[in-house]
Amino acid sequence: MAQPIRTLRDFLEEFVDDHSIVGGDEVLLDVTPEEAEDLGLFFVRGICGWMHGLRRVREGQHSTDAHNELAEEDVEETSDVETEFVQ
């Protein structure tokens, strides 16, 4: 029987549950120096990947906006004769 797919959220929640030391308003993780380094690299890669994706989305929206503006200008510059011919 196939096991259910384990999500990243499930993994991180389990990891924090297994390695956390509750102290006041903070959650401290009881990890080895190697695990701390791996966690840091994981978060840095995640943030960099998120920023890269966000930039691509913004550039895509910007180019789409520019394309739409040019298309609107073309429509505004079209004469009535050209519009009648197209119809």
Residue-wise pLDDT for 20-63, tens only, equals 887 677 888 899 999 999 989 989 999 999 899 988 888 887 66
Structural domain includes residue 65: yes
Per-residue pLDDT at 44: 93
* DSSP run (H or E) holding 28: strand 26-29
Number of domains forming the structure of the chain: 1
Structural domain includes residue 56: yes
* Best CA proximity match to 20, nearest among 32, 11, 29, 12: 29
State yes or no: pLDDT of 70 exceeds 90. no
State yes or no: pLDDT of 82 exceeds 60. no
Structural domain includes residue 61: yes
Q: Which domain holds residue 66?
A: 32-79
Structural domain includes residue 84: no
Structural domain includes residue 21: no
Contact between residue 29 and residue 21 where contact means Cβ atoms under 8 Å apart: yes
Structural domain includes residue 4: no
- How far apart CA 16 and CA 49 sit, in angstroms, is 23
Confidence label for 87 from pLDDT (cuts 50, 70 and 90): very low
Query: What count of other Cβ atoms lies within 10 Å of the Cβ of residue 19?
Result: 15
Structural domain includes residue 37: yes
Structural domain includes residue 10: no
Per-residue pLDDT at 15: 86
Q: What is the pTM of this model?
A: 0.49
